[in-house]
A and B are shown apart, each in its own frame.
Chain A
Amino acid sequence: MPLSAPATQPLIALRDVVKVYATPAGDFPALKGITAEVYPGEFVGIIGKSGAGKSTLLNMITGVDHLTAGEVVVRGPGDQQPVSIHQLGENALAHWRGRNLGVIYQSFQLLPMLNLVDNITLPMDFCGLYRPFGSRGRALELLRLVDLEGHAHKLPAYISGGQQQRVAIARALANDPPILIADEPTGSLDSLTAETIFELFEKLVGQGKTIVMVTHDNSLAPRFTRRLYIADGALVEAESYASQ
C-alpha cells in the first residue's frame, strides 16, 4: 500500500449525493443524501436489497449517471487535483474513467465480436496508451493474471460465464487504474465460480487496488474491509440493516 491507510486523504469522497428520478407517478428519490468516503487500499462492500439504490450509488461514482445534488470527488494517483466527477462532460469523463476506473458489471459486458485479447486491448486503444505490440503483450499478461492465457483468441461466447467475468476484470485492469468498481460481479455466477471471482478481488486488493463492490448477498459481508449498508436510498447501520 503506497500510503498509510485511512488517515490519508480519501480516494473517493461522496458528499450529500442525491439522485431523484422523475417517473410518471412523480419524483422518486433513489438516493437521499449519501455521504461516504473510500480510502486507498480498501475493499468496500455496498450491501443492499434490490431497489435500495446501491447500483445508482455506484453509477454516481463512475459518472455513468448524473447526480441531482451533492458532489463526487475522486483523486486518482495521476491527478494533481481531485476530480469532481459530476462536473465533467461526457467525453472528458469517458477519457478519465478509462484511465482511472475499471468497471465490472454483473453481465460481463464484453464485446461479443472481439476475441479476449482484443477486448482487453480496447481500453488501451481508446485511451491513447495503445502501442501495437506493447499493449497486446500487456493484454496477454492480464489474461495470465486471471488464468485464461490459453483462451486468448477465443470469442467471449466460447468461454463460461465465470471465465467471461475474469476477462472483464482483466479488461478493467487494462489501463492499470487504481480503483475497481464492481456491480454484483458474482450475481450471474454459480456459487463455486463466484468464490473464485471473489478470491481474485481479494488478491487484487492485496496488490494495492482499491475496490468498491455492490452486492445484495449479506453473507459476503465479513470478507470486505469495510461495509456500507444501504436501504431505500440511505446508508444505515449494520444492525438496523440486519433487523429488517
Chain B
Amino acid sequence: MPASDIPAPAIELSQVVKTFKSAAGEFTVLKGVNLVLLEHEFVSIVGKSGSGKSTLLNMITGIDHPTSGEVCVGGTEIYRLNESQRALWRGRTVGIVFQFFQLLPMLTLLENTMLPMDYCQVYAPGERPKRAQDLLALVGLQDQAHKLPAAVSTGQQQSAAIARALATDPPIIVADEPTGNLDSRSADVIIQLFDQLAGQGKTIAMVTHDASLTERTRRNIIIVDGELVDETVGRALPLLNDRQMLQVTRLIQRQTFQPGAAILSEGQAVDTFYMIDSGQVEIVLKARRGGELVVARLGPGEFFGEVELVYGGDSVASARAGANGPAILATLSHRAFLQLLSDSPLTGDAIGKIVQARLAENRAADRRRR
C-alpha cells in the first residue's frame, strides 16, 4: 500500500442500513455497512446477485436512500440534498457506467457524450463538442462519433458510455457490472480503460460478480448478504465461500503492533491464527551465536501461525512487526481456525500445501542456521 502521502477519503459510508419494504414484508439488503474509499483508488466490489452490491453502489451514487446511516462523497453529505439537487451533484461528481450501457438511443455517441455537460452546465457550450470528441477519441471511438448507439457494437457502446461518464470530468467513476454484458475480449478493453483512468487519478468503484476481474483492481471488497467481508480475510483466505468469509469476518479480532514489537516468540505456545492487515511482519529464527535469521517478511494478505495450529506444538519461529511501521493483524482463535479448515476443504488443502512449503523452508533455514 502506498504510504508516502496519505490520500484523503473520497467516499465514506458509515453504518449504512437499507431496508426494502414490499408487500411481502421488510427485507434488509444492507446491514450496517462501513466503508471508506480513498482518492485515486480502483476498487472492485464483488458479490453474488442478491448480495446487495448494486444497492451499495446506489448508496454511493445517491440513486437510492439509505434507511439509516450516512454517506459522504467528496465531502458532501449527499442525503442532505433533495432529489433534484442530488441529480445535479451527481452529474458533476460521479460518472456512472451501467451494465446495459444506457446510452440514449435517439442521440449519436457524440451527442450522448455532450449531454451531461448540457445538463450540468459545465464547459462553455462552444467547447462541448470538442471535449466530447476528445473523450470519444480517448476511448477509441473518434470515427464512430456520429453514429447512433444501435449502429455500433455492444463493446463500443460501453466505451461510449465511459466517455459520457467522463464528460463532466467527475472525480469519481462508478461502474455497475460494466463487463457483464460483454464478451471477454470487449470486457478486457473496458478494464484496461478503467486501469488507465485510475492511473490518471480518478477514484473508481466497480461492481462485478466476476472474480477474475478483481485481480486487476488494487482493492477488493466482498459483500455477502448485505454485509462486507473483512478485506484482510478476503485476501488471506480467498477460497472460503461467501458465508464462511462472513463468519470469519465476525470472529476476527484486530491487534496493532508497534514497529519491532514481538508478536510471537520461538517456542511459545500458539493458539491464534494471524492474518496481516497492514504493515509487515518478520519471521525470525534464532541463529547461532545469539544472532537471528529473518526467514520471511510477510505483507498484507499473508498469514502465519497456521503451521503450529495444524500440527500442534510450540511456535517454530518468532514473529515481530516490521521496522517500517506498525503492523495491524487480524486474529482468529485456534478453535475457529480448525472449524474453518473442516468446513472448507478447499481452504484446508491450500493451507496444507502452504504448511508443507513453509516447513520445507524452515528446514532449509535450520540447516543454514546450524
The chain A residues found within 8 Å of chain B, CB to CB, are 23-26, 28, 49-51, 106, 155, 157-161, 163, 184, 187-194, 216-217, 219, 232, 244
Contacts and interface: CB of A to CB of B under 8 A. Distances in A.
A interface: dominant SS: loop
Interface of B: 22-25, 27, 48-51, 150-156, 177, 180-184, 187, 209-210, 212, 224-225, 241-243
A190 B51 contact: yes
B238 to A, nearest CB: 12
A-B complex: 6 closest residue pairs judged by Cβ atoms: A25-B153, A158-B23, A160-B24, A187-B49, A157-B23, A24-B151
Contact of B50 (A157, A189, A216): A189
Nearest to A218: B211
Contacts of A24: 150-153
B326 to A, nearest CB: 36
A106 B224 CA distance: 19
Contacts of A216: 209
A125 to B, nearest CB: 25
Contact of A160 (B27, B49, B155): B27
Given A50-B177, A51-B181, A157-B23, 4 more contacts: A25-B155, A155-B23, A188-B50, A232-B184
A42 B77 CA distance: 54
Chain A CB within 10 Å, residue with most, of B23, B182, B241: B23
Contacts of B51: 190-191
A232 B183 contact: yes
A25 B144 CA distance: 11
Nearest to A23: B153
Given A25-B156, A244-B212, A159 B49 contact: no
Contacts of A23: 153-154
Contacts of A163: 24
B156 A190 contact: no
Contact of B182 (A51, A106, A192): A51
Contacts of B177: 50
B24 A159 contact: yes
Nearest to A217: B48
A159 B23 CA distance: 7
A26 B23 CA distance: 45
Nearest to B25: A160
Contacts of A244: 212
B241 A219 contact: yes
A25 B152 contact: yes
A49 B212 CA distance: 10
A192 B243 CA distance: 9
B210 A49 contact: yes
A105 to B, nearest CB: 13
Contacts of A194: 50
A49 B241 CA distance: 18
A216 B156 CA distance: 25
B294 to A, nearest CB: 35
Contacts of A49: 184, 210, 212
Chain A CB within 10 Å, residue with most, of B156, B184, B212: B184
Contacts of B27: 160
B105 to A, nearest CB: 12
A194 B24 CA distance: 17
Contacts of B150: 24
A193 to B, nearest CB: 8
A191 B224 contact: yes
B176 to A, nearest CB: 13
